[in-house]
Structure 1
C-alpha cells in the first residue's frame, strides 16, 4: 500500500511538472512572434547559413528611411529589432528571425559610414614625411568655403597627418559629423608647435611699442 502511494505521488509530481513546463512554454510562445517559418536557412544576399535568434519587436507607423532601402538590398537578415509595421503593440515582445552574420556586419558598416567619412580607405598607413606607422583616429569634420591661410601652406611639408579637424572641401555640410583619418605622432607635435609659434608671434605683434 505504501509502495502504491509513493508511486502515485511520484507520477503525480511528474505530471504536474510537465504541465508547468508546458504552461511556461505556452506563455513564452505568446510573447514571441515567429518569423522564421517558411523561410530557408540561407541568406539570399551572402549565400551562407543563418541561425535563428530572438530580437526585440518595434511598433509604430513611420516613413521609409535610407536604412530601409539599404536593408532590403544589403542586409535583409541583420541582427536588429524586427519592425512589425503595426501602429498598435500586442502581447508579443520578441521575434524569432533568421540572422546572417555577414548581414549584421554589413549593417554596422553602413551605420558607421552614415556618421563617419573614412579617409583611410586604400590609403597608406605610413607617414610620407616622417616614415613612421600612423594610427586611425576620429576627428571633427569641417565644411564651408574657408580662405587659405599660412597653415595651409605649411601643412603639406610640415605636418600632413596631424591630429586636427578634417576639411571636407565642400560648401554644404555633409551628413557625416566626423572623419576617420591616419594620424602621425610627429606630425601632431609639429602642428602644435606651429600653432604655439603663430600665437606667440601674434601676441608680440599686438603689444604696443615703447617710444
Structure 2
C-alpha cells in the first residue's frame, strides 16, 4: 500500500458520532478545502516517514478535537505544525482551519519530547478518527470496541507500510488495544492527568537521553545528529 492509497482509504470511512478529518468539514472552524488540506498533510507525513525509514510509531488512543482533528496529523496541534514539518525534513504542512491557532496540551508535551529526541517518528492513534458525544462534536470520548474493530485493518495497513522495529503505546488504553500486533509494543504513560513527568522520563529512558542533557537539536536535523539519534534505538 502507498501513502496515497492509505489516505484515500481513511477518507472513505464514515461512522456515526465520529469526525473523520480527512473526509469531513467542520462548519464552524474549517476552511472550505479543509479535508483536502488534511489529506495532503497526512500523505506528506507518511511519505516523509517512509523516505526517512522511521523505526518507530508512537500510537495514542484517539484523535483529540484540539489536535489531529484540526491538522490531520495525529498528536499534533496547529501550534506544532511547523515542528512536524521541520522534523520530517521540511515538508509542506498547511493549516486547515480559520481563526487563531489552537493548542493542545498533549501535543505540546509530545513535541517537547520529540524536539529533544530529534529523530523522525510516525505518529498515530489506535482509533484514527475523533470520536465524540452524539450531541457535542467538540467533545472527546473513548472509541468503542466495535469502532476499533471496524478500523483495525487501517492500523494493520499502516504498520505493514511503515514496517517499524518498535511501536510505542502512549497510555494504558492504547497499550491494551495494541496487544494483538506482532510488532514489539512498549508502553509509556500518557502525559495527561498528571502523567507528564512519567511520559517524559519514559521516553527519555527509551531513547537514551539524560534528563539534564541541555542539548536540543535544531530542526531540520543535520546528518550528524540524525545518525546519532537513530543509533539510540539500535
- TM-score class normalised by the smaller sequence: under 0.3
Highest CA radius of gyration, 1 or 2? 1
Q: Normalization by structure 2: what TM-score?
A: 0.22
Greater relative contact order: 1 or 2 (C-alpha under 8 angstroms, separation 6 or more)? 2
TM-score (normalizing by structure 1) = 0.24
Which one has the bigger strand percentage?
1
Which structure has the highest helix share of the two?
A: 2
